[in-house]
Chains A and B, each alone.
Chain A
Amino acid sequence: MKSLSEIETVSKRACRAAGYSWGVAEEVAKNIRLLEIFNLPGIKNLNSFFKKKKELRLENISLIYKDNEANKNGYCPIIAGLNCLDQIRTIDNLNEITFKKIAYPLLFLPFISRASEVIGKRIFLKMDDREFLLNFNNNIYSNHTKNEIIESAENIYLKVLENQDSFEEKEWNELYKLSEETFVEENESLKQGGAGAGLTDND
């Protein structure tokens, strides 16, 4: 089995050899490591992408808007992902954005996972019929678990999810009430002797 360190080093060098700058290669290397940690086929997709990159004639996006439509060949997943990561605060303000066609979208995914950690918000990402919930870069919840190469996605939808409770206030209150059963009722003696401070807190 390859170690994550080997995966990162080889991905970085391969990315540089494929024509990206060293700084970009460092980002991609971290991403492939991340995909492999999450048991998603990072190496497989990166290798396939680099083999076909030249013939794909992909478009490089720089500034991200609400709706982004690439030429017929689609966006480069690395440059699109990198700019989403860098511009995640703008995207957060837009709340949701779309892309028309990204090549090798699995390589786009880890940038968004990292962006989720940067802004401290979950991000929902849909690539055609594949859905991903990116949880602060701690884990990825998805309906897609196949170990396969995905050459492109036509419709990409990204939504920043506001931080909110996943439960009703009533459910919280019920649980809180139960938790109170670990507390001790204070009688007068406990009130006087149990606290660290005096009885008056303004002396």
Chain B
Amino acid sequence: MNISLRDPNIVMKLSRLGSFHQSKLSFLRSFLKEFKDWEYKRDLFELNEHGYGTAVYSFKKKNRVYSLICFANELNEDERSDRVIATKWDTAFTLFDGVPTKHDIERLQNEVPKQEFGRLSFKELTLSRANKSVRVFNHVVESLSKGVQPDRELLDKVGYLYRTTAVYGSGKFGLADRFRIKDRKEIYGPFRLEMMLVYLVRQFTFDQVNHVAKNKNPKKAVKLDPEICRNLGIGNSTGLGMAPFIVNHPTLLNNWISARETSLKKIREIKNISNEEVGLFLDCLKKSIKNITSWNTESEYQITKIKSLLTDLNKFIMHLDKEFNFKQDFAFNEMYLHLEKNYCEECIEYVVSMMMEPFDDIVTPLIQEMSSEEEKYFNIPTERTVADLKAILENKYSEILNIDFSKKENNLNFWFISKNKEEPRIANRFDEMGAELEQPLAIARDIKKLYDLLSVSKNSWTIAKFLSTNNELRHVVRRAFIVEKFPYSEIQDNTIGREIMPIDMLRLKLSFFGALKFDPRSDKWLRICMFQGAPLPEQLKNYDDYWVYN
């Protein structure tokens, strides 16, 4: 049986992309899988009694070493802020390529805590900072120093001791450019080094809390129970900074979605599903429910989504238990068709993620294809014709071409870069100043403009001739030729309309990161938790790929 890949006109709608969930393809899971047999070490731990100082952690295999350098500094209460406008943090980190010398650490001690205002070098790969959840951290210190374990309910609710507010890589602030390291096999999956940084930071938070408790009461203090540690991750506050990323990296976006879609297609094409595979799927699905019930949000939009997800999932599980026949041919295809017909988008995509769990042989090879050599597709094939380009637009942007951008509601917002923080923002173009400095993220509107211009141009013209007088739309000409080759490279929605939910763009990216606990605070930012439940570095040798559901 040959199942078609899902239609980009369905999959690439923002509401659908914003319904994606973590899966076996997620970067933090694939990172752990890749590095499970690397040698982990704490190389340096020079903290004072209050937990301030320097620490170094490393992963090593043969001649390759990656070292996390941690700087913990004293911070006044009034200086602690999770906002991007903050200038000081409890801790600052960089992932160093190799083993840092004393001189490297001294150099970085002056730069890393400054974050965006510091200068890094090609020896450093990623950069980040994190703030304590003061309430949780202090509670844990107090408890441990008295010889008792902390309140698990409180820890479960918050989920972390520290939260990061940004993780930078790929050449930012002088960090190593990707071209220097892209041929290393261990980092073929996207964001591997960012994941490594966060994972090692998590271990630092446990070591630091144990250290402070021990110094507070050397005779009575106990260490934080490893089981409790396992259930703690690293928090992360994420705002609009992430949203334009998926528009600005079309081939990368395509490769992420394509891996997911190809997995689904191949799974639907399996004729006979073994009992073991069915058991694993059902086990993951049922256990995963606890992740959803732990989501807290004040956003009405998200509350409705989560509620309908839970209702649908319970109904779906009941259907599987009572009515569904896994012995029938192409059972997963039948199950998928049933899902599409009867359940909400959030539930469909949730189950799609779960369907991948039993099929390592299908999913794992696809992880290698989730990076992209974006440079290869940059040049516009100017020998092609206006007729070719028009056909691409009609074929790949059919619904977008129907949007009427002369209506205010379809052209309401604009994306811009804030001067204060050099971060992307969105605003109402009719109420706010600055629309003339709009970023090129209104792809749907510009595609429509391009189509209108092409319609009054000669079909036989080459793109070279068309561009010689129409370079103002060059950015979307490039995109159209990319989407011709990469069907999942474009969001099939209007990113400047009244109905835009930027959080859908964030959720898409975070689902590929592997975030478990979404805590949307509004339609523009959310908190997540990474690596909650993940094995600790010293447990990696007995790595269990299904840790997410334990």
Contacts of B469 in A (CB 8 A): 62
Within 8 A of A (CB), among B464-495: 464-465, 467-469, 471-478
**Residue from the list A22, A23, A63, A88 in contact with B465, Cβ < 8 A:** A63
User: A86 and B463: CB pair below 8 A?
Assistant: yes
User: A23 and B171: CB pair below 8 A?
Assistant: no
Contacts of B473 in A (CB 8 A): 21, 23
Q: Does A101 contact B (CB under 8 A)?
A: no
Give A128 to B173 CA distance when docked, in angstroms. Answer: 38
Q: Does B304 contact A (CB under 8 A)?
A: no
Q: Does B429 contact A (CB under 8 A)?
A: no
Contacts of A96 in B (CB 8 A): none
A6 and B378 contact, Cβ closer than 8 Å, known pairs A1-B121, A21-B475: no
Within 8 A of A (CB), among B365-388: 375, 378-380, 382-383
**Residue from the list B179, B439, B467 in contact with A4, Cβ < 8 A:** B179
Q: Does B174 contact A (CB under 8 A)?
A: yes
Contacts of B13 in A (CB 8 A): none
Q: Does A24 contact B (CB under 8 A)?
A: yes
Q: Does B172 contact A (CB under 8 A)?
A: yes
A87 and B468 contact, Cβ closer than 8 Å, known pairs A1-B174, A3-B174, A23-B474: yes
Q: Does B140 contact A (CB under 8 A)?
A: no
Contacts of A3 in B (CB 8 A): 122, 171-172, 174-177
Within 8 A of B (CB), among A56-97: 62-63, 79, 82-83, 85-90
**CB of B285, distance to nearest CB on chain A (Å):** 41
* Chain B residue at minimum C-beta to C-beta distance from A5: B171
Give A61 to B378 CA distance when docked, in angstroms. Answer: 23
User: A6 and B174: CB pair below 8 A?
Assistant: yes
User: B477 and A23: CB pair below 8 A?
Assistant: yes
Within 8 A of B (CB), among A84-139: 85-90, 114, 118
Contacts of A82 in B (CB 8 A): 467, 471
* Chain A residue at minimum C-beta to C-beta distance from B417: A13
Contacts of B468 in A (CB 8 A): 62-63, 83, 86-87
* Chain A residue at minimum C-beta to C-beta distance from B172: A5
Give A88 to B463 CA distance when docked, in angstroms. Answer: 12
Q: Does B440 contact A (CB under 8 A)?
A: yes
* Chain B residue at minimum C-beta to C-beta distance from A30: B378
Counting chain B residues whose Cβ lies within 8 A of the other chain, the interface size class is 35 or more
Give A30 to B170 CA distance when docked, in angstroms. Answer: 16
**CB of A9, distance to nearest CB on chain B (Å):** 8
Give A82 to B478 CA distance when docked, in angstroms. Answer: 14
**Residue from the list A5, A79, A87 in contact with B464, Cβ < 8 A:** A87
Convert B171-191 into 0s and 1s, putting 1 for each residue whose CB lies closer than 8 angstroms to a CB of A: 111111111000000000000
Contacts of A118 in B (CB 8 A): 379
Interface of A, helix, strand, loop or mixed by DSSP: helix
Give A23 to B174 CA distance when docked, in angstroms. Answer: 25
User: A114 and B379: CB pair below 8 A?
Assistant: yes
Q: Which of B178, B380, B468 is the most central at the interface, judged by chain A CB atoms within 10 Å of its CB?
A: B468
* Chain B residue at minimum C-beta to C-beta distance from A87: B464
Q: Which of A5, A63, A83, A89 is the most central at the interface, judged by chain B CB atoms within 10 Å of its CB?
A: A5
Q: Does A2 contact B (CB under 8 A)?
A: yes
Give A90 to B461 CA distance when docked, in angstroms. Answer: 13
Convert B187-201 into 0s and 1s, putting 1 for each residue whose CB lies closer than 8 angstroms to a CB of A: 000000000000000
**CB of A134, distance to nearest CB on chain B (Å):** 15
User: B174 and A86: CB pair below 8 A?
Assistant: no
Give A83 to B468 CA distance when docked, in angstroms. Answer: 6
Q: Which of A23, A63, A114 is the most central at the interface, judged by chain B CB atoms within 10 Å of its CB?
A: A23
* Chain B residue at minimum C-beta to C-beta distance from A20: B471
Give A75 to B458 CA distance when docked, in angstroms. Answer: 27
Give A114 to B171 CA distance when docked, in angstroms. Answer: 23
Give A1 to B380 CA distance when docked, in angstroms. Answer: 31
User: B177 and A26: CB pair below 8 A?
Assistant: no
Give A24 to B469 CA distance when docked, in angstroms. Answer: 12
**CB of B407, distance to nearest CB on chain A (Å):** 24
Give A118 to B476 CA distance when docked, in angstroms. Answer: 20
* Chain B residue at minimum C-beta to C-beta distance from A78: B471
**Residue from the list B172, B380, B439 in contact with A86, Cβ < 8 A:** B380
Give A71 to B469 CA distance when docked, in angstroms. Answer: 19
Give A114 to B378 CA distance when docked, in angstroms. Answer: 11
User: B464 and A90: CB pair below 8 A?
Assistant: yes
Contacts of A4 in B (CB 8 A): 171, 177, 179
Convert A26-65 into 0s and 1s, putting 1 for each residue whose CB lies closer than 8 angstroms to a CB of B: 1100100000000000000000000000000000001100
**Residue from the list B121, B176, B379, B472 in contact with A23, Cβ < 8 A:** B472
Contacts of A63 in B (CB 8 A): 465, 468
User: B467 and A86: CB pair below 8 A?
Assistant: yes
**CB of B198, distance to nearest CB on chain A (Å):** 21
User: B382 and A87: CB pair below 8 A?
Assistant: yes
User: A23 and B122: CB pair below 8 A?
Assistant: no
**CB of A148, distance to nearest CB on chain B (Å):** 25
**CB of A101, distance to nearest CB on chain B (Å):** 20
Give A86 to B465 CA distance when docked, in angstroms. Answer: 8
Q: Known pairs A4-B177, A5-B172. 17 more at Cβ < 8 A?
A: A3-B122, A3-B176, A5-B170, A6-B173, A21-B474, A21-B475, A23-B475, A24-B471, A24-B474, A26-B475, A62-B468, A63-B468, A85-B382, A86-B382, A86-B464, A86-B468, A87-B382
Q: Can you list 17 residue pairs at the A/B interface with Cβ under 8 Å?
A: A1-B122, A3-B122, A5-B177, A6-B174, A22-B439, A22-B440, A23-B475, A23-B476, A23-B478, A24-B471, A26-B475, A26-B478, A82-B467, A85-B379, A85-B382, A87-B464, A89-B383
B interface list, Cβ under 8 A from A? 121-122, 170-179, 375, 378-380, 382-383, 417, 439-440, 463-465, 467-469, 471-478
